[in-house]
Structure 1
Amino acid sequence: MSQVAAQARTSKTVVYRHFADKTDLYLAVCDRVATVLVGQLQSAMRDAADDPRQTLVSGVDAYLRLIEADPEVYRYVMRPPKLDRPANEDPVSDLCSVIGDHIAEVISTELRRQGRDTGPAQTWGHALVGMVRAAGDQWLAARPELEREVLAGQLADLAWAGLSRTVTPSAASSAS
């Protein structure tokens, strides 16, 4: 907490007025990041809702924008301190689950609209979260020269190569 106080240019006493310990501070930061990220994802994907591929691109880009905007906060959240909490209460896993469920619902809605099987939507939504998170982590760690928009396009291209066969009207008619 001394480092947090020093970084915030305040005393530990002031920090402890707001947070019981490092775990409490970490959980508060995670909660704030989750709120911001989910809001940005929902907004970006809603704005592109008429075009499934653009919805994908917008969602990927929104996640990467968060990383780019504040890489230190992203690192702090994704590489947590040792928490005095049960392993099943991991805020990063919870965040990934919330995002995966949201994306699964977007996919499911599109599949349902086309009269297609919605069964795989949950798996695909969570798979997309894993792909984008892993690529975002690698980008932050080793490829800072790669522009965010280029990475978002690359990830969207990879995901769209599979999704387009199942979530586009032409795929539905050619599968019959």
Structure 2
Amino acid sequence: MSFRLRFRRSDRRSQREPEPSELKQIERYHLITEIGRGSVGTVYAAHDPGLDRQIALKLVPREELPGPSDSGARRRRERGAETRAGAAELDARLVHEARVMARLSHPNIVPIYDVGTTDDVVYIAMELIDGRTLADWLEQTPRSWREVLGVYLQAGRGLAAAHAAGIIHRDF
């Protein structure tokens, strides 16, 4: 049994496909629906018209970019430490991390297709994985400790590959 950790709401298929005029656009990508939230940013199912495929698009608003020693923007906003220079540095770090991840090829890491910035957000385009979330899988039926251990070992292998490349996953 093989799982990839990713964000996805189980009701994504039951929602109607929006008309093109209803879609919000980030660069060339058309957002379809929100599929998950993490400690940094929101992930959307999106359409890439250039390659005519569905993707996952993670959007990280500049005010949510984590600093080197904290886990989010709320504390920075409270301290008033957000500056243009600091935002540019954080943008560059996130783009660098996405580029490092794009070079990784591992069965337990979602492939990265593109990364970029707009005035408001840093975005990362990646493969849209269709399937169950880990939480859904764990809730469906009682699982033996061996099954659960096997799935967590797969997640750990992906995290180990990311850590070996110098990337820290903040949502695990």
Query: What TM-score, normalized by structure 2, do the two folds share?
Result: 0.31
The structure in which a higher percent of residues are helix is 1
The structure in which a higher percent of residues are strand is 2
Query: What TM-score, normalized by structure 1, do the two folds share?
Result: 0.30
Larger radius of gyration: 1
